[in-house]
Structure formats: C-alpha cells, structure tokens
Amino acid sequence: MEKIESANQEALRRMLAGDPVLVDVIPASEAIPDLREHMILHAGPPIEWASMCGPMRGAVAGIAVFEGWAPDLDVAADMAAAGEFEFHPNHRFDSVGPMTGMTTMNQPVMVVENRTFDNRAFCTMNEGLGKVMRFGGNDAEVLDRLRWLRDSLGPSMGRALRALDGIPLKGLVGRGLAMGDEMHQRNVGCSGLILRAVAPALAETSSETGALVDALSFIGGNDQFFLNIAMAMGKAITDPVIGIEGSSVVTAMSRNGTDFGIRVSGTGDTWFVAPVEMPDGLYFPGFTEADANPDMGDSTIVETVGLGGFAMGAAPAVAGFVGVGAASEAANFTRTMSQITVGENPEWTIPAMDYMGVPTGIDIRLVVETGLAPTINTGIAHKDPGVGQVGAGVVRAPMACFEQALVAFAETMGVS
Amino acid sequence: MSATVLNHVRKGFYLDSVALMRLSRTIANMDGIEEAALMMGTPANMRIMADAGLLEISAHKTEGGDLVIGIRARSANAAHAALAEANTMLDRPANPGRDQQAWRPRTISAARQSMPEANLALISVPGDFAAAEARKALRDSLNVMIFSDNVTLEDEIALKREARDFGLLVMGPDCGTAIINGQPLAFANKVPRGDIGIVGASGTGIQEVSCLIARGGGGISQAIGVGGRDLSEEVGGITTLMALDALDQDPNTGQIILISKPPARSVASRITERIAASSKAHTVCFIGAENVELPDNATLTVTLTEAAETALGGVRIGEGFGYLAPDGPLPPGRRQVRGLFSGGTLCAEAQAIFRSRGQPVSSNAPIPSASHLGKVNKAHTMIDLGVDEFTRGRPHPMIDPTVRDMALAEALEDPSTGVILLDVVIGYGAHSDPAGHLAGVVGTNRPADGPAVVASVTGTDDDPQIRSRQIATLETAGILVAPSNATAALLALAHIQTPAR
Amino acid sequence: MPENKQQLNTLLNSPLHVINVGLEEFAQNLKDRGVSVVHVDWSPPAGGNPKLAALLAKLSE
C-alpha cells in the first residue's frame, strides 16, 4: 500500500536524521516532573506486583528502601503487595532502564537529547556487574552504591557533560561498530571512547581528587558502562517516530521478566504483549538453564534502532559469547534481520560486511510474512534476586506480539 | 491387536512436498510401522491424514506453516522409535556437504536484492500460495514460471493481465516444463540447442516433442510453457500470444511448434491471426483436432509424434518399429485397454488416437470426443493421474511413482484388461528410476496369461536416468516399449484389433 | 515496478538468473548444471495462518 510505504519511509527518515547527544546527568525528579513519591518506573510493558518475577520484586523492595518509603525490605514488599506503590513502564515517561530498570525520583539519570527533534530520553547509570539492582540486588552494598551514584558520580558527570556541551553519540557509535561492539552485549569499545571523551572534563570540573579517582575507576572498570547511554540514545531516536499514520515500523521493544511488549508507529502508545521467550545461550560456569530468569529489560531499544543482535555482523566476538556458534555466523544474523527492516543506516556501517549499514526500521508486516522475529543479544539474569548475570544468549521477540500488532495496525488502515 | 497412532506437531517448521514425501517413505518403511506421513498442517492435508487413519489430534490445532507427523504402528514402542527417528531426520541439516553457513533469503524480494540480475522466478510452492508469490515476483520485474497447480482461474487471469502490462511472461500455472536459453527448468530433458521453438500448453507435451526432435537430430531454441488453461476462453491465450511474439522476434528460432489441447474457438482465431502475421513456419498440434483452419505458413498435425516429424522435415520417428504387428493375439476376454498416464497431454494424445480409429474411450480428463469415466462401461479408459484432484497435498506422479501403483496393480489383476498403456517420463525433476519402479510393480502383480503392457519412454540418453537404460529395464520385465507415446497408443490399438484366440 | 516492455525478449536472449521458490530440488538441478540460481528459504506467510496471510496480502499490495 502506497500510504504505508511512504509512512515507513518517513519513519526511517526520522530515525536516520536523529542527532543524539549525551548532555547531562540530573535527578530523575528534575528530568521527569510527573515522578512523585511511591511511584516506581520499571522495564517492559505494564505489570503489577503480583506478576513480577523474583529479581524485579527484589529491585522494587530495594528501591523503596533507597527512597525512604519503607524502613526495610520486608515492609517494602508488604507495601508493594498492598498496592501502595504506583508502577509504570519507563517508556511512558521518556525513559528506559536495563533489566529490572528501576527509575525513581532521587536516582540520577543520564539525559540524551535528540537535537534534530528537540526531544529527550533518560536512563539511569550502569551500576556494574554482579550484585546490582538491575539484577534484583537490594542489600546494603547495592543501596550504598546507588547513593554514591546519586551523590558523587551523577553530579560529577553532569558537570563534565555540561562543560562539554554534551558528547555527540552517533559518530561515537559508528566508531564502536568498527571496533567490534554491537551496543547490547558488547560495549567495551564505546565505553572506552566515552571515558576518553569525558575524562578531561571530569578532571577539569572536579573539586575533589578522591571523587575524581572514584569516577574514573568506576567508568574505566565497567565494560558495559555505555549500555545505558546506548539505550537512552535508542529511545531518543525512536520517540519522534511514534504516531506516524500508516507506518508499520516498530518504535519500541521491551520486556518486564514476564511479558514482551512492542509498540508500532501507526498505533501510537499501544503495547502489544505476549509471554517472553527463553534465551538460547551459554551459561557461565556453575550455572544452567534451570537458573535463568525470563527475559527482561528495556535494552531491546537498541535492537529497535538496528544495533545489538541486528549489528551482530560487526561483533563476531559476541557470537561465541551468546552461543550462536562460529564467529563467521555473526554476519548471517545481520543479513537475516535485513529481511525484516525498511532500510539501512548509512552512518552505522559494518566494515567486515563491505560496509553494509545496520538494518533499520523493523516492519511488522515483514516479520509476520517471513516468520523472522527480531533477534536480540541479551544477558541472562539469575532467577533469584541479586545474584547477577548467569549467562548470555540470543532471544527472539515473540511472534504473537507482531501478529496482534498487525491486526490492530490493519484496522487503523481500514483493512480487516 | 489394535494399532497405535502417534502425532507430533513441529510448529513453524516448513519443508517442501518432495522432502516430506521422502521422509514419509523412510519412516513408513521402518519396523512395525503400518503407515506414516509428514505433511504441512493445512486443513486439506489434515483431511488426507485423517482419512489415512493417521490423525489423533484435532485438525484445528495446526496451521499451514506447521509440520505434522502421523505414525500408525503395530506397537507403541515402534511408534515412538519411528517418531524419534523422524525428529532426528528433521533436525539434521538437509545437505551436510553444502555450506550450512550460507545465508538464505526468506522472500523473493530479499533474493532479488541479493541477485539484482535475476530475470526469472520459478515458483513451486503449494497452490494456495503460488499466486501471491507470483504477484510479488511480477512486481519485482521478474518473469514467472508457475510450476504449482491448484491455482484459481481468477488468479491466473489477474496475473497474466498484470504481466502483459509489464511486458513480462507468466508461464503456467501448472507449467511443468520449460527450456529457456537451452536450460531445462523444473521437469525437463537434456536436449540439444537448435532452431526449433516450442510453445506448449502442457509440460509433457513439450517434453515429448522436444525429446523426439532430439532423437531425430534436431535441437530446441526455446520451449515456453503457457499452462493448461491459457488457451481457454477466459484466459484468452495471453501467454501463448506473448510467446509467439517473442519467438517470432527471436533470431535463434527458425520455426515454431505450438502444442495444446484444442483451444476455445475465439482464442483459436486470435492464434491463427498471429501465426499468419509471422514469416516463420509453424507446426500446430491441437491434440486430436483435425479440422482447424490454418494460414499458409502453418501445418496441422494430429499427434505430437507427427508434429516432431514435421518440424524435422519428414524424419520418421521409430523407423522400422513394428508397431503394426503385435507378437500375438490377446487371451480371451481381455479386450479393454487401460491407460494410466502421468502426463496429461500424453493421456489426451492416446485418447485422440483411439477415437480417430473409432474406439470408445472414457477418461477423468476426456477430450471432446471421449466420455467421462463411468459413463460407458465397455470403453477403454485413459486416466490422467496428474490432475489437480490427485495432486492436492501430494507430489506429482512423475516425482512419486507410487501414485500410479494402486491403479496399475488393479488393472493387472482385472481379468478384462487386455492392454495396459503407460507413459514413462524421465529427465530432471522426475523420479530417479521410474522404469525400475514400474518393472517391480508389474513383476509382482501380473498374472500368467495376463494383459500386455505397453509403454513409451519420454526422454533422451543425456537425461540422468538414461533413456536406453530405462527401456532395457522395462523390456526385461516383459513390457513392450514403443518409440513414442503416439506409437505406443497405436501398438495398444493393434493388440485390440487383432482377433482374439 | 518494471520499467519497460522489453523484459521478455531480455529473458530469451540473455543469461538466465533464476530465483527458485519452492521445491529445492529444482534449484539444485540448476546449480548442478552451472545455472545462476538463488533458492528462497520459503515458508507459508504468517506461518500458514489464513486470516493473517489475507491481512498481509491487503497491507502489502
């Protein structure tokens, strides 16, 4: 249909025209004025306490204690069960969060501004690996770290970024692709580039050597530091694509540990949900599939903009890590994903694939027609709160989401 | 002891009909297995499986993209062993020798992007899906060959009209054969390149004529299949006319043969008009039709054999073959000829020859002068086993010779059968040893003092099956082999016309 | 959309490049004879679900 084709071309145009810049780190309450006491934003489509998985419940209890809404974890859990917290998806308030994705008033969030369209997207900072809130960790160590992010690293980063007038991200990501990153499971190149970009400004705007050392060590020691920036960048790129009449392009993909949800440009804010699938992957020593938590997190926003599993051809090292087989098979994933997308991104190219641009603009019609669901490179969390990552793998978005979306989208086009 | 029926559904797992047939045969042959089938879960296929006693689950639980396994065994153990083997085979890569890492496009459009120079889409998906795929191909500027049958007439008309507007060719539906630029496509035979062009509304018709020409020392420039309904009133000969145009303009084509069952009258006149406008010689064979007005540059022949002979400038096929003199009379009471054909046009040709000699003929695909099966009891019967009703959800008899087995065994055992008439079509896409298979069935089921079995082999010695070897296999089994389908029909006729003992 | 009406004559007098959709054997036969061919790893649109396939057809016209 002509109308759909031109709407999709417009969607692609907007995605490619985005100019995402990491501009600040500020308290969530400043970034999101609607945030208030007892309000908790989480990853994925809407979910209530009763349906939440172990790690998400652990994170909810932990963040309630962090915010001072409950004196301890048990009271926090009781309050949650009694309906005393208001839960909303991050996506509803211009933000995203990895894994459990807790976003609340007093946490620092990074701000990515899309200067082409003047919209902003937010994401908390990456806590590091192991026992962290994004895997459901909620003990004193976890909360202390969150306090340090709130009181030290957050403000330091904010000062540095403002002094720089922001760090442009599109070119940085392009360089990361050439370094073997795909921005979901592998961010080591971009994390290094970010450190290089921000370190002098951090030093210049720092008033206390100890804090500076901590900041540089923290960022320098976290291979996945860039993940959260990539996620906010992804959201900043896709938000201007929401609501183009007649467009069948996906604007968000997200999971809450129970359900997988997608949103489609032509159907606005509606979530199309289905139960998450289990990842197919490799487990760290001592762990097996029996330990795995179902798929979770807003990080699939990076696949939505052509990175992650879609850019696997740039990251052959990931292939082994996520257990898909030979490194030489990584490129096939990218080629396969190009069969369900509207176009390519000429600024994010993959040298090893003759500079093919990453497949961009997932078209739900192509997904349903070919039976090829988007391929996601994901971390696998332990199903018990606070244990951490136990593996990594490839998971597919459930076909049911796209089938439902197709029916709803068809209705908007007067077709049934 | 009651049988165990076991079902297993592999959701979203697709395999083509030939691959499924092979797997089904292997599983069915395992110890303790009475019957087995692997089929895609369409409603029609589920009915077939239910009828075969292979379905215990509700047919509503499956969709066309799901692979359904049905096994009926004498014991639960055997059933489970067979199911395990089936799953192992499904999970094994199809061709270990081939590059498994190779990326494969899932759609025509993705394939087109990887091959911008593509100029032809060859479509052989199940009939329900073929028209949609053909439409996608046309919109991607591809000529189309639709091998699939069970495509609706409405879809055929819409596709051909759209193709004509684009200047593209739609060969088919139900186009089993084409030879483009010397390359055989789908079912076709290895024949030399030459200056004789063929336009055929039937695959086996093209195969027969092209092979006879090859044996007579000639060669083929192009063989364009137009599909069995192209010359109907409704379709109006769209592809035939485009093909005649193309061959008329083709510098490598010196003369043209047109093969079809008799066309609708309005269409016939458009065809003859087009032929008259050409400067090239045409040979026209409207199987069995004798009173057709043709322009001066066209010769009418009644049989495919005569069409080949005319194009070859008078070479006689089967020179010296004694088809007028059978070995001896048939046993008493055996007066009926039972023709069992995998090729529709070959079936029509046999009917035409019998009718032209005044013999009553009935068929499931009768030519105008023959009657429908069941109407006339004493008539000779000519069955086309490749018609849509037989091939829904199953491979064509040229791929799967077992389709003919039951009818053949029944004809051999029937005491009134005098002659069994068969076509054996070889070449690319056909079964690897149809003669061997037939020899087995005939050897097992023919009674002493039974009917004569007459066959012809459509093919060449350059085909994978090697025509002369196929003939040798048939003759060793006591089957009489004529040099062409038409001569085989005449030989069968001669048997019947020789007074009985 | 195709641009010109010469496509058919182009087919008959230039090298054959085939996109094969359906029986894999046909592609293999062509490949064995050195003909340029791409085989499409086809499966029924929308997993064979007729309702969705019909919707798709209308939305993809």
Contacts of A368 in chain C (CB under 8 A): 45-46, 52, 56
Angle, alpha carbons B449-B451-B453 (nearest 5°): 130
The letter for the amino acid at A322 is V
Contacts of C60 in chain A (CB under 8 A): 1, 365, 369
The letter for the amino acid at B195 is D
| Residue of chain A with shortest Cα separation from C54 | A416
Are residues A176 and A187 in contact, defined by beta-carbon separation less than 8 angstroms?
yes
| Residue of chain A with shortest Cα separation from C41 | A370
Q: Across the interface, do A371 and B101 touch by the CB < 8 Å criterion?
A: no
- Name the token pair of B500: 């009985």
Q: Across the interface, do A328 and B101 touch by the CB < 8 Å criterion?
A: yes
Rg (CA), chain A: 20
Q: Across the interface, do B121 and C5 touch by the CB < 8 Å criterion?
A: no
Contacts of C58 in chain A (CB under 8 A): 1, 410, 415
pLDDT band at residue C2 using 50, 70 and 90 as cut-offs = very low
Q: Across the interface, do A331 and B105 touch by the CB < 8 Å criterion?
A: no
Q: Across the interface, do C60 and A1 touch by the CB < 8 Å criterion?
A: yes
Q: What is the DSSP letter of B301?
A: E
Q: Which residues contact A144 (CB under 8 A, 6 or more apart)?
A: none
Q: How far is CA A78 from CA A50, A71, B492, in A?
A: 12, 11, 92
Are residues B259 and B209 in contact, defined by beta-carbon separation less than 8 angstroms?
yes
pLDDT of residue C9: 62
| C-alpha–C-alpha distance, residues A257 and A53, integer Å | 6
Q: Across the interface, do B110 and A339 touch by the CB < 8 Å criterion?
A: yes
Interface of B with C in 221-250 (CB under 8 A): 222, 242, 245-246, 249-250
Are residues B63 and B41 in contact, defined by beta-carbon separation less than 8 angstroms?
yes
The closest of B146, B165, B141, B166 to B156, measured between CA atoms, is B146
| C-alpha–C-alpha distance, residues A262 and A278, integer Å | 17
* Mutation site, A5, A329, A338, A339, interface B, largest B CB count within 10 A: A339
Are residues B397 and B386 in contact, defined by beta-carbon separation less than 8 angstroms?
yes
Q: Across the interface, do C59 and A407 touch by the CB < 8 Å criterion?
A: no
Q: Give yes or no for B132 touching A (CB within 8 A).
A: no
Facing A336 at nearest CB: one of B12, B101, B103: B103
Q: Across the interface, do B122 and C50 touch by the CB < 8 Å criterion?
A: no
3-class secondary structure for chain A? Answer: CHHHHHHHHHHHHHHHHCCEEEEEEEEHHHHCCCCCCCEEEECCCCCCHHHCCHHHHHHHHHHHHHCCCCCCHHHHHHHHHCCCCEEEEHHHHCEECCCCCCECCCCEEEEEEECCCCEEEEEECCCCCCCCHHHCCCCHHHHHHHHHHHHHHHHHHHHHHHHHCCEECHHHHHHHHHCCCCCCCCCHHHHHHHHHHHHHHHHHHCCCHHHHHHHHHHHHCCCCHHHHHHHHHHHHHHHHHCCCCCCCEEEEEEEECCEEEEEEHHHCCCCEEEECCCCEEEECCCCCHHHECCCEECCCHHHHCCCHHHHHHHCHHHHHHCCCCCHHHHHHHHHHHCCCEEEEEEEEEEHHHCCEEEEEEEEHHHHHHHCCCCEEEEEEEECCCCCCEEEEEEEECCHHHHHHHHHHHHHHCCCC
| Residue of chain C with shortest Cα separation from B105 | C40
Dihedral angle of Cα B103, B107, B109, B112, to the nearest 10 degrees: 50
Tens digits of residue pLDDT in A183-208: 999 999 999 999 999 999 999 999 89
- Name the token pair of A298: 């807003």
pLDDT band at residue C3 using 50, 70 and 90 as cut-offs = very low
Q: What is the DSSP letter of B329?
A: P
Tens digits of residue pLDDT in B378-435: 789 999 998 877 776 677 788 788 889 989 999 999 999 999 999 999 998 888 999 9
| Residue of chain C with shortest Cα separation from A404 | C52
Are residues A46 and A89 in contact, defined by beta-carbon separation less than 8 angstroms?
yes
* Mutation site, B15, B66, B99, B101, interface A, largest A CB count within 10 A: B101
pLDDT at residue A369 is higher than 90: yes
Interface of A with C in 353-372 (CB under 8 A): 365, 368-371
Interface of C with B in 2-61 (CB under 8 A): 2-26, 29-30, 33, 35-36, 38-50, 53, 57
Location of structure tokens 């037989």: B390
Interface of A with C in 2-41 (CB under 8 A): 4
Q: Which residues contact B127 (CB under 8 A, 6 or more apart)?
A: B148, B149, B150, B151, B173, B388, B392
| Residue of chain C with shortest Cα separation from A364 | C56
Facing A410 at nearest CB: one of C49, C55, C61: C55
Q: Give yes or no for B104 touching C (CB within 8 A).
A: yes
pLDDT at residue B149 is higher than 90: no
Contacts of C17 in chain B (CB under 8 A): 115, 117-120
Tens digits of residue pLDDT in B298-332: 999 999 999 999 999 988 887 766 655 666 777 77
Facing A410 at nearest CB: one of C46, C47, C59: C59
Q: Percent of chain A having pLDDT more than 90?
A: 88
- Name the token pair of B81: 């062993």
Distance from CA of C32 to the nearest CA of B (A): 11
What is the number of other CB atoms lying within 10 angstroms of the CB of residue A377? 33
Q: How far is CA A107 from CA A30, A33, A56, A134, A291, in A?
A: 10, 13, 17, 13, 30
| C-alpha–C-alpha distance, residues B129 and B266, integer Å | 31
Torsion sign (Cα): A324, A327, A329, A332: positive
pLDDT at residue A160 is higher than 80: yes
Q: Across the interface, do C13 and B250 touch by the CB < 8 Å criterion?
A: yes
Q: Is the peptide bond before B173 cis (omega within 30 degrees of 0)?
A: yes
Q: Which residues contact B81 (CB under 8 A, 6 or more apart)?
A: B30, B31, B32
Tens digits of residue pLDDT in A223-265: 999 999 999 999 999 999 999 999 999 999 999 999 999 999 9
Q: Which residue has the higher pLDDT, A280 or C27?
A: C27
Poorest-confidence range of A337-351, B103-117, B243-257?
A: B103-117
Distance from CA of C33 to the nearest CA of B (A): 9
Q: For the residues C16-42, what does the mean pLDDT come to?
A: 94
pLDDT band at residue B449 using 50, 70 and 90 as cut-offs = confident
Q: For the residues B220-243, what does the mean pLDDT come to?
A: 96
Q: For the residues A82-104, what does the mean pLDDT come to?
A: 97
| Residue of chain C with shortest Cα separation from A368 | C46
Q: What is the pTM of this model?
A: 0.83
Angle between helices B76-91 and B17-28 (to 10 degrees): 150
Contacts of A403 in chain C (CB under 8 A): 46, 49, 52
Q: How far is CA B120 from CA B135, B144, C18, in A?
A: 13, 6, 5
| Residue of chain B with shortest Cα separation from C29 | B428
Are residues B185 and B178 in contact, defined by beta-carbon separation less than 8 angstroms?
yes
Are residues B187 and B168 in contact, defined by beta-carbon separation less than 8 angstroms?
no
